[in-house]
Amino acid sequence: AKPIVAIVGRPNVGKSTFFNYVAGKRISIVEDTPGVTRDRIYTEVEWRGRKFTLIDTGGIEPYSENKIMQQMKRQAEMAVEMAEVIVFMVDMKDGLTASDKEVAVMLRKSGKPVILTVNKVDRVGELPAEAYEFYNLGLGDIMPISSVHGLGMGDLLDEIFKYF
């Protein structure tokens, strides 16, 4: 069986955009506003002759802040159970949020490898100073990417393959 990698994170950080970029096609629905119910979506990714299955998590409905948090946790827990490696995505434009911190606590407890991925780093070059606050999550090093522009993808895929 191919190793499973799950993309986890609060709504609107760019999980589906990343998923679609890596899948090379538009499978997952990208929304400007969080809250569209989406099914879990799988794709096979091949990189440098090796393969894994990537899962995009979604399905969050904005009944209330609590509901979002609940569903996000449940979704993340399921993904964590299934996956060998977690891509935990945060958003450089929004910065570090309370929801990010909640997810990080749960992911750290899981003991699974977590790759902290900072999306929406749209410019090539030096890492913007804002990105450094994500080190406060206590998950180690960060991988900067831009899912819209396809930046940092090779480095992130190489990092994923280090774990299996």
Extract the annotated binding site for GTP.
9-16, 56-60, 119-122
Containing H/E element for 148?
A: none
Alpha helices in the chain (DSSP H): 15-23, 65-82, 98-110, 153-161
Kindly state the number of chain residues that form the binding site for ligand GDP, as judged by CB under 6 A: 19
Indicate whether 32 belongs to the interface with ligand GDP (CB under 6 A): yes
Residues 129-148 that bind ligand GDP (CB under 6 A): 146-148
Helix (H, G, I), strand (E, B) or coil at 105: helix
Rounded to 5 degrees, φ, ψ at 85 are: -135, 140
Indicate whether 117 belongs to the interface with ligand GDP (CB under 6 A): no
Indicate whether 31 belongs to the interface with ligand GDP (CB under 6 A): yes
Indicate whether 152 belongs to the interface with ligand GDP (CB under 6 A): no
Which residues have C-beta within 8 Å of that of residue 25, sequence separation ≥ 6?
none
Indicate whether 122 belongs to the interface with ligand GDP (CB under 6 A): yes
Write down the least CB distance from residue 109 to Mg ion, Å. Answer: 24
Q: Which entry of Mg ion, ligand GDP, none binds 11, CB below 5 to 8 A by partner kind?
A: ligand GDP
Binder to ligand GDP among 34, 45, 110, 163 (CB under 6 A)? Answer: 34
Indicate whether 71 belongs to the interface with ligand GDP (CB under 6 A): no
Distance, CA of 83 to CA of 86 (rounded, Å): 7
Rounded to 5 degrees, φ, ψ at 154 are: -60, -45
Distances (CA, A) of 96 to 1, 91, 137: 35, 8, 9
Q: Under the rule (CB under 6 A), what is the footprint of ligand GDP?
A: 9, 11-17, 30-32, 34, 58, 119-120, 122, 146-148
